[in-house]
Amino acid sequence: MIWDSELRYHNSTTLYMGWVSNLVMVNVCLSHKEDPDGIVSASLIKYAYPNTMVILADYSDLLERLEEAVGIEGLDHLFICDMGLSKANEERFFRIVEGMSRRARVTYIDHHHLEEESKDRLRGYGVELIHNITECTSILIYHNLLNENLPSRFALLAGFAAVIDEMDGREIASRILKSYDRHFVEFEATILAYAIYQNQHREEFLLALVDGLIKDMPHAIDGVLESSREYAQKITNNISVIENDARKDKDIVYIQAVDLPASTVANMLLAMHKGIKVAIAYKQRGDKMVVSLRGSSMCKLHLGKLANDIASELGGSGGGHDKASGAMIPKDSINTFIKMVKDYINNSNN
Ligand SMILES: [Mn+2]
C-alpha cells in the first residue's frame, strides 16, 4: 500500500520509490469504518497529528488491516481507534501490538468492554491506553488528545459521533452538545451516519469523508446528502418488511436483514416491538453471518459479553456494549446462536 503526499492510497510503485528515498516518519490511524465514531476519530487524529495516514477497518478485516498498518515504512506513532477486542481476535491483536510497540508509539483508544487483564497486558507492552466505557471514542480523543485551543467545530464533530453511538447523554458529550441547536445536531449526525452506511464498500468515499470533516460540516461534503437520501429510501422500503416478517419468541424478536445492515435493522426492530428484551437482526456476508443485538431497558444482560461468549463458542467472534453488540459467526450456526441467546434471556430472569 502506498500513499502520496496527500496521504491517500496509490498503486503506483514509481510514486512509492520516490517517497521511500526521502523517508519521512508518519503516524498511522487505524479506525473503525462502520459508523461516525470511527470516521470522526480518524478526522480528529488526522487534524491533531500532521502527517497521519488513515486506514479504515471493520471487524472482519481488523487484523489484516493492523498487519498492514504496522508494515508501513517510517511508522512513528500508531493510533487504533474505536475497534473493540473480542476473545476471538485479541490474542493475535496483542501479538502484533507487542511487536509494534518495541519500534513505535502505540495508542489504543476505545470505549467497548475490555477485561482488566487485557488492559494490563496492553499497558505491559507499553501501549498508551485510553479506555473508558462512559463516552464514545471520538469524545475520548477530543477530551484526552486534543488541545483546548481547537476550533469548536471539532467538539461538535465528536458530539455527532456520540449521538449515533447513543452516548450523547453522557457528561462530556452532553456538555458539548447543549451549546447547539438540537435539530441541527441530529440532522448533521444522521446524514453523516447514513452516508457512511450507504458507502461501506467504497473506501475512497470514506477516506474522502475523513478529510472532508476536517474542513466542513457533513451537509457540505460532496455526496453526503445524496447518499443519505438513498439510505433513507432503503429504510422506508424496509419498514413494512420488518413489520411483517419479524419472528417473536417471548422476550426476543429476530429477523434476517436483506439490503440494510444488520445494525440498522436491529435498531428498527427494537423500536417497533415494545415489551421485548432483545432484538436480533442478522445478515449473510459470504459464508458468515453478521449479527446485531439490541437490548431494551428490560434487558439486564450485558449484550457485548453475551455476543462475545456465544460467538466464540460457535467459532466466530463478537463483542460490543451493554445494550448494543454484534457478532460474526459461521452462517449455518445462526439458529443455534439465536437459541442460545433465547436460553440465556428466557431461562434466567435476565
Ligand atoms: Mn464507538
Note the pLDDT tens digit of each residue in 246-290. Answer: 999 989 999 999 889 999 999 999 999 989 999 999 999 999 999
For the residues 314-334, what does the mean pLDDT come to?
A: 94
52 CA distance to ligand 1 middle (Å) = 21
> How many angstroms does the Cα of residue 244 sit away from the middle of ligand 1?
31
Distance 37 CA to ligand 1 centre (A): 5
The alpha carbon of 319 and the centre of ligand 1 are apart by a number of angstroms equal to: 12
**pLDDT digits 0-9 by tens, 137-194:** 999 999 999 987 889 999 999 999 999 999 999 999 999 999 999 999 999 999 999 9
- pLDDT single digits (tens) 4-52: 444 444 444 444 444 555 678 999 999 999 999 999 999 999 999 999 9
**Average pLDDT for residues 132-136, to the nearest whole number?**
96
The CATH label, of 3.60.90, 3.90.79, 2.40.160, 3.90.1640, for the domain at 2-227 is 3.90.1640
**pLDDT per position as a tens digit, 281-311:** 999 999 999 999 999 999 999 999 999 999 9
Rg (CA), the chain: 20
Instruction: Tell how far the Cα of 299 is from the centroid of ligand 1, in angstroms.
Output: 21
pLDDT at residue 13 in the model: 41
- CA of 82 relative to ligand 1 center, distance in Å: 5
Burial class (CB within 10 angstroms; exposed 0-12, middle 13-18, buried 19+) of 283: buried
Q: Where in the chain is the domain with CATH 3.10.310.40?
A: 246-347
Please say if the pLDDT value at position 126 is more than 70: yes
Beta carbons of 265 and 294 less than 8 angstroms apart = no
* CATH number, span 246-347: 3.10.310.40
Residues of the chain with CATH 3.90.1640: 2-227
Give the pLDDT score at 147: 81
pLDDT the model gives residue 349: 64
Using a cut of 0.85, tell me whether the model's pTM lies above it: no
Rounded distance from Cα 165 to ligand 1 centre (Å)? 6
Distance CA 302, CA 318 (A): 12
Give 280 Cα–ligand 1 centroid separation in angstroms: 19
Number of Cβ atoms within 10 Å of the Cβ of 57: 23
Please report the pLDDT score of residue 7 as a whole number.
47
Ligand 1 centroid vs 170 CA: distance in angstroms?
A: 13
